[in-house]
A and B are shown apart, each in its own frame.
Chain A
Amino acid sequence: MPIKMTTFERHSVTPWLLLAPQLAVVAIFFFWPAAESLRQAFYVQDAFGLGERFVGLANFQHVLSSPGYWHAFGVTALFSLLVAAGAMGLALLLAVLADRVLHGARLYRVLLTWPYAVAPAVAGLLWLFMFDPVLGVLTHALAVFGVHWDAQLDPGQALALVVIASIWQQMSYNFVFFLAGLQMIPASLLEAAAIDGAGPFRCFFGITLPLLSPTAFFLLVMNSVYVLFETFATIDNTTLGGPGGATRTLVYKLYEDGFVGRDLGGSSAQSVLLMLLVGVLTFIQFRYLERRVAY
């Protein structure tokens, strides 16, 4: 340690120089906008951005009292719940299956992680085409079962479309963590359980699942954050928040209000609330993980 210290003391400029590009990126694209939106949350701007007026907490008051915001909040909560449940359930199932595969295991694992490499916007388009009311492969398949599919008209189907696209994406991320979590469980634990008389299901619910719970909780938070932010591109490429606000999540409403409706103050206030929400989630996560991480 002392050696390192002296090295840095003698070359005090070099580390900063090396950090500079990254710091610049973070400052320009993160700290500056964040600070700006924090400031703007307390101002009202005119539509052309030529003047602004300090209004205190009026923006927050307005946002929190508008039914549109709470509707978006509800949509986001439902969206989060569905994506988290779907993506985690599916990922756990696939991870358990992949963990048992002996031959070609690497291939399966790579294939199952691919969807995460697809940009959310592209993922949205992919599912949009498949569920297109006229051309969609899946639309025709559903028609065979007598389901009339039109996500542009049916609010429930619109939500289902973005939920499916998001699950498909997020499933890969969850899969990687669940698989790693499964492989961390010593084989001897499951063998001991087998000798103790636990069948495969008992073994899974009695031993494997409890031991995966820290992973699962981490993923729950990560999935919620994903839904809060990353799904923007998916929604923007498919349903545009519609029909009738059925897929207008908090982040999409923020974008609509700010960049389409030019209500910069109101949208800034929403982004501050969103930041607080993520802060709370992160806080809970760290508190929980600190307590449970050391099995």
Chain B
Amino acid sequence: MATLTCRQLVKTYKGGQRAVDGIDLTLEPGELMVVVGPSGCGKSTFLRMVAGLETISDGELEIGGRLANQLEPAQRGVAMVFQNYALYPHMSVFDNMAYALKLQKRPREEITRRVREAAALLGIEALLERRPRQLSGGQRQRVAMGRAIVREPTVFLFDEPLSNLDAALRVQMRLEIRRLQQRLGASMLYVTHDQVEAMTLADRLVVLRDGRIEQIGTPMSLFETPASCFVARFIGSPAMNLLPVTHSDGRARLPGGLILETEALENDARETEALETEALETQTRAKAEPETAARADAKAPKRAATLGVRPEHLRLDPQGEFAVTLEMIERLGVDALVYCRLPGLDAPLTARLPLATLEAAALREGSEIRLAVDGPLHLFDAEEQRLARRARLAAETSAAQSSVA
């Protein structure tokens, strides 16, 4: 039985604005699901709907097998960790953690035992008598988690819990949350705008955009096969390079004249079909008049598309397909980010190269270099949806240039 199920969950504000627009998802027991998206995508609203802090306009929410649409927050069996921790400032750490149990009128011994257990788990036993304002950010974060743990909820809800911490502490707390989740076997719904946090924590990742789910999957599946340009841009750091191309009969043409040959994406039936027909026609035509193939290619219906390649999948190669001008280098230690410009293109091309290679080639800003693709290419259609899973470089740059000429 799923811990939490959402069916077409909708949040409509007065004036018809839809903050959450039909979310379907299932949280399995013991799963840590991260909801990620840019600010304003509806991820916090969604979490607050699950918590019962926002009413549900439409759809169904089931928690622990019970329909929870109309339940009070306290009856839903959820515990929430807030961005600003929301600790009660006039209560000691102990009282903060015990508050829910006191309201449930549990016996005093049980309250003490459960609070002490949670405190031991988080290493905050020494802080129980203190007030929240006497604690550091990381300690407050732990107390907030302790308050959630004490309640033994069906689902833990986290609303950007680490965004008030400094970078070092954020990494530490991230690990701690993960460790805690595995130890408790807890089901967690975790909202963040930080894609690194999302990638590292999640069992499954949900990318939200304008109140809708853009893609659900494991972090690696989203990284390897983003369903859209949006996901491609959002997952992975530095972001995937997205280059505008024109796409026709299975080929992607860059403004610079480079032509890439693509395979159809299997799971996109419509596009695949159209693509195959086109490819077949081109092939026939190419066979009939090989010398005018390039011109026929130019006449075939062209569609705007976007080509994606991750910075990690570019390497320095004197025979590389992309002839670019190096504009800037950011040294990260082992690697360096190299920002380049493709002639005739506004969008920059970023490559992540080993620093050693860079030094060996004595590259600096302004150098003319060539980059080769050393990994998967991604092709997205005019609606920015995934088109082909793999694109293979086909034509030589020279041939492409001749066709342009």
Shortest beta-carbon distance, B350 to chain A, in Å? 38
**Which residues of chain B have C-beta atoms less than 8 A from A192's C-beta?**
80, 82, 86, 88, 147
CB-CB nearest in chain B for A191: B53
Q: Is the CB of B89 within 8 A of A196?
A: no
Task: Report if B113 contacts A (CB, 8 A).
Answer: no
**With A186-B84, A188-B84, A294-B133: A196-B103 Cβ-Cβ less than 8 Å:** yes
**Which residues of chain B have C-beta atoms less than 8 A from A211's C-beta?**
89-90
Contact residue range for chain B? 20 to 34
Select which of B74, B86, B99 is within 8 A of A186 by beta carbon.
B86
**With A202-B103, A295-B133: A195-B90 Cβ-Cβ less than 8 Å:** no
Task: Report if A93 contacts B (CB, 8 A).
Answer: no
Q: Is the CB of B133 within 8 A of A191?
A: no
Interface 1/0s, chain A 163-207, versus B by CB < 8 A? 000000000000000000000001011011111111000100011
**Which residues of chain B have C-beta atoms less than 8 A from A194's C-beta?**
52-53, 72-74
Question: Could you tell me how many residues of chain A have their Cβ less than 8 Å away from some Cβ of chain B?
Answer: 18
Q: Show the binding face of B for A, using Cβ within 8 Å.
A: 51-53, 72-74, 78-80, 82-84, 86, 88-90, 99-100, 103-104, 133, 147, 151
List 7 A-B pairs, minimum CB-CB distance, nearest first. Answer: A197-B74, A196-B100, A188-B86, A192-B86, A197-B103, A295-B89, A210-B90
A–B complex contacts, Cβ < 8 Å, 8 sampled: A193-B99, A194-B53, A194-B73, A195-B52, A195-B80, A198-B103, A207-B88, A295-B89
Interface SS of chain A: helix
**With A191-B53, A191-B82, A192-B82: A197-B100 Cβ-Cβ less than 8 Å:** yes
Select which of B51, B83, B84, B104 is within 8 A of A195 by beta carbon.
B51
**Which residues of chain A have C-beta atoms less than 8 A from B86's C-beta?**
186, 188-189, 191-192
Known: A186-B86, A189-B88; 15 extra A-B contacts, CB below 8 A, are A186-B84, A188-B84, A191-B53, A191-B73, A191-B80, A192-B82, A192-B86, A193-B99, A194-B52, A194-B53, A195-B79, A196-B103, A206-B99, A211-B89, A295-B89
**Which residues of chain A have C-beta atoms less than 8 A from B82's C-beta?**
188, 191-192
**Which residues of chain B have C-beta atoms less than 8 A from A189's C-beta?**
86, 88-89
**Which residues of chain B have C-beta atoms less than 8 A from A191's C-beta?**
51, 53, 73, 80, 82, 86
Shortest beta-carbon distance, A219 to chain B, in Å? 18
CB-CB nearest in chain A for B153: A195
Interface 1/0s, chain A 195-234, versus B by CB < 8 A? 1111000100011001100000000000000000000000
**Which residues of chain B have C-beta atoms less than 8 A from A210's C-beta?**
90
B83, B89, B133, B151 interface centre (most CB from chain A within 10 Å): B89
Select which of B52, B78, B90 is within 8 A of A295 by beta carbon.
B90
**With A186-B84, A188-B86: A196-B133 Cβ-Cβ less than 8 Å:** no
